[in-house]
Structure 1
């Protein structure tokens, strides 16, 4: 269970992931991954933890993006 991809994600890491993946707004990210904008807002404010499957998805998307170049 020590796989870092399985860890939750801090609001700062989420913000960074959004930038890396080209999501400019909370709405862009919400639409991109199929969640509500209010969920993204709660994650960014740190009021609710980023669900592990979402954190894993974003990390996988970033890794895939980096492999293309």
Structure 2
């Protein structure tokens, strides 16, 4: 099964959302820092719901209200 998000995309989305550390992202989405670390190292795939959430948040930032 293909991962729902490559580590490079996760890093890019973190930057766009203003999360500077793994701990910042982990706290924001309710997972452990070690989970984020495993995703960024490509050792474990980013869960599909997390990938969808991050993409939606970045998309919402681009829309004018």
In structure 1, the residue corresponding to 2:4 is in which secondary structure?
coil
Partner of 2:56: 60
In structure 2, the residue corresponding to 1:68 is in which secondary structure?
coil
Cα distance in 1 for residues equivalent to 2:39 and 2:56 = 18
Unaligned runs of 5+ in 2: none
Tell whether 2:36 aligns with 1:49: no
Q: TM-score, normalised by structure 1?
A: 0.87
Partner of 2:10: 14
Stretches of 4+ aligned residues off by more than 2 angstroms: none
Q: Cα deviations across residues 31-54 of structure 1 (Å, max 9, x unaligned)?
A: 011110000000000000000000
Partner of 2:24: 28
Aligned length: 63
